Amino acid sequence: MKKLLSLILAMTLLIGASAMAEALPAETLFTPGTYEAEAQGFGGMVQVTVTVAENEITDVTIVGEMETPALGGVAVGTMGEAIVKAQTPHVDGVSGATVTSAAIIAAATEALEAAGADIALLDEYRRDESEDVVKEEKTIETEIVIIGAGGAGMTAAIMAQQAGKDFVILEKMPYVGGNTTKATGGMNAAETLYQKEQGVEDSVELFAQDTMVGGHNINDPDLVNTLAAKSAEAIDWLDSIGADLPKISFSGGASTNRIHAPADGSAVGNYLVDKFSEKLKELGVEVMLNTKATELMVENGQVVGVKAEGPDAYYTIKSKAVILASGGFGANLEMIADYRPDLQGTVTTNAPGATGDGIVMAQAVGAALVDIEQIQLHPTVEQSTSMLITESVRGDGAILVNQNGERFTNELLTRDAVSAAELAQEGQYAYIIFDQHLRDNLKAIEKYVTNGLTVQGDTIEALAEQLNIPPETLAKTLADWNEAVATQNDAQFGRTTGMNENLTVAPYYAIQVAPGIHHTMGGVKINTSAEVINTEGNAIPGLFAAGEVTGGVHGGNRLGGNAVADIVIFGRIAAESAVEFVSK
């Protein structure tokens, strides 16, 4: 009798009293003990250890040291508790960490099956977590509200904290980083200390000119000049918070070595998100995660706060200023189709939180939009995973070939030009080709190898055979390219950058790529003080914006490396302007 009562009590806790009318299983669910399994995650193997009693999952421990902290790391840190709560491995994954989430579910399933579990039965008795939660109404008073904890929002938060201001920072996702986690190359900046140390000649004027030309000259010249003029001091500021970017290389559309990256060549986005997170933690700043801003509050024409919804409360946040740093709309395929029907069905590299919420909220209070239909395709996206292959691969010397094994463009033209050239090829795709030397010197490549995106050959002919490319054609293409590097003369396509190293060190690698939606250049209109401009051409008092939520900086095409410049430079400006505004 005691055993039966204990079983009933356990099941009551697991599935709730309302479900007890259903029959309990006659036999035990598990063989008590601890079981382990692993599965391939995004960055490496994910290990799941499950401990079970006769009728209860008592503990789930997940280890995934190679997963990206801002994405997969969140799944590693939260999904164990979710499995224990639901009493089944079939729980919701973390948005933006699909691969890691799937690995955790697969490994947990394998471990539970080893414990004798019938997964279908666990799903049948899954704890019902759909009960309505009664949310409180809460009011917060502060000086500044920052909407979005991506790169621009975290930059603004660090600046606001260093200025001694009271603020809150909201993030609708369960993790920080936003689209910044998707940035792979680096940050453009001119006349920097690192360029001078490495003998790179550059100027603010040339940076601005490249950006205007790359954007088809529809950019706002004042914003572009501000971006270029304040880029070197932004690199210095990053140094001051421990986020140095000393490695310099080429990026598409640049006239010289200008893109700054981490010393080891790792992806710039995750690197900066980690450094920003560490700095915010050091400064004692807490981000309100899973809290979505829903409305800008306005009184007498001035923005005076934000309404938001969190997991357990509805918030009215009264403030003197608001900084919009909520990102673009590259993950909102319906919104993209509204502005660009021709892009219907195109894969996107964007983080799942990039849905344009801030743009919609700003419009509701009279903000003007600029270049909203300008949406960028990135030419090197692996289509089955939507994983972006960083421009640094081409910047460090890789080439693109078609299914015939032939080059078809200057690989470091602007992204729109390279994307158009790819779409003109048979099958509308290409292969990016590189060698072991390039892999050894660019850490970002390791995740492509780990995730099985690369095809490898001990010789270029062996690689060609795996790709169903005529071996003699690909061998000649590579020989011609290596001769162009040796003579610094690309007679075929006039490439002049990213030609410091040839491709001669076996083994050789290829990744099949095609264009994917990468960046929305348009958004809320701002001035050089990051003030949001209304439809009448005037600044909206108390409202500032930075990053991909804004338009005007990039025009009709964003240069690789300018998004990171945008979030850091205008994130700093937005914070400085908001601090000045609330200090009046």
Residues with catalytic annotation?
415
Token reading at 302: 């001035």
Token reading at 552: 């005007």
Residue 21 φ then ψ, to 5°: -70, -20
Task: Provide, for the chain, the percentages of residues in helix, strand and coil under a 3-state DSSP scheme, each rounded to the nearest 5.
Answer: 35, 25, 40
Spatial CA neighbour of 186 closest among 263, 239, 120: 263
SS3 per residue for 298-310: EECCEEEEEEEEC
Task: For the chain, count helices (H), then strands (E).
Answer: 19, 25
Residues 6+ apart with CB under 8 A from 542: 302, 303, 304, 319, 320, 321, 322, 581
* Alpha carbon distance, N-terminus to C-terminus of the chain: 73
Distance of alpha carbon 514 from alpha carbon 443, whole angstroms = 22
CB contact at 8 A, 433 and 400: yes
Handedness of CA 342, 408, 556, 191 (dihedral sign): positive
Helix pair 221-229, 562-582: axis angle to 10 deg: 90
Residue 411 φ then ψ, to 5°: -65, -15
CB contact at 8 A, 453 and 511: yes
SS3 per residue for 208-276: HHHHHHHCCCCCCHHHHHHHHHCHHHHHHHHHHCCCCCCEEECCCCCCCCCEEECCCCCCHHHHHHHHH
